[in-house]
Chains A and B, each alone.
Chain A
């Protein structure tokens, strides 16, 4: 079956360092892959998405890389700040108005 999963459940980094959060997917014909940030007591917040025909997409301080050969997705956060502390989920989206399928999540902790 299909699955979207994360390699590491927790990640701790120093403020100012770069963070890399990884995600694996399998057997998917999804159109988009998305990264969400979820702070305690809140719903997921969209960070960035990438189409299946792209390898890289950049946003403000964030970059998503997609490696279709090994079915791997990563989120890079530059100059990580305490406000970046949260749980990060990858998800896949199938088609227009399609359903989001979420991975397990990685908890990012930023030490001052």
Chain B
């Protein structure tokens, strides 16, 4: 089992360009999340999807949109990239049960906006 798969692993964008970060999980988890991690900081929640068909804003949603395409896939879109969005983006999923044991992270997408 692959767990949580993110694509691409690396991306360089010019200011104003758009792109979509893809995330898929094969663990039949109900909930999925997008985080960003800036140097020397913890992960901050951008958007999450508690279950298929629902999405909600996290701590830092501005400049992003998400789509929960189906139970497996949760994509993050930057409509007009800005240098402030240079970061490492992590997707995660969880089975929506008590505790955090099943919370699984992908390996990240390193995005640079120039």
The 8 A CB mask of B18-45 against A (1 = contact, 0 = none) is 0000000000001101010000111111
The 8 A CB mask of A23-53 against B (1 = contact, 0 = none) is 0000000011010000001111110010100
> Which of B30, B58, B101, B108 sits near A97, CB closer than 8 Å?
B30
Does B75 touch A at the CB level, under 8 Å? no
> Which of A43, A93, A99, A104 sits near B90, CB closer than 8 Å?
A43
23 example contacts (A-B, Cβ-Cβ < 8 A) are as follows: A32-B99, A34-B103, A42-B108, A43-B105, A46-B101, A49-B99, A49-B100, A49-B101, A51-B99, A89-B43, A93-B100, A93-B103, A96-B96, A97-B50, A97-B95, A97-B97, A99-B45, A99-B48, A99-B58, A100-B33, A100-B92, A102-B42, A104-B40
- In the bound assembly, the distance between CA atoms of A44 and B50 in angstroms comes to 20
Question: By DSSP majority rule, is chain B's interface helix, strand, loop, or mixed?
Answer: loop
Q: How far is the CB of B90 from chain A (nearest CB, A)?
A: 5
In addition to A51-B99, A101-B45, A101-B59, 6 A-B residue pairs with Cβ atoms within 8 Å of each other are: A42-B107, A42-B108, A46-B103, A49-B100, A96-B98, A100-B103
Contact A43 B108 (CB under 8 A): yes
From 43 to 66 in chain A, residues with beta carbon under 8 angstroms from any chain B beta carbon are 43-46, 49, 51
Task: Count residues of chain A with CB under 8 A from any CB of chain B.
Answer: 25
Contact B100 A46 (CB under 8 A): yes
Closest to B98 in A: A96
Residues in chain A near residue B59, CB distance under 8 A: 101
Residues in chain A near residue B90, CB distance under 8 A: 43-44
Residues in chain B near residue A34, CB distance under 8 A: 100, 103
Does A82 touch B at the CB level, under 8 Å? no
Residues in chain A near residue B105, CB distance under 8 A: 43-45
- In the bound assembly, the distance between CA atoms of A97 and B96 in angstroms comes to 4
Residues in chain A near residue B101, CB distance under 8 A: 46, 49
Residues in chain A near residue B103, CB distance under 8 A: 34, 46, 93, 100
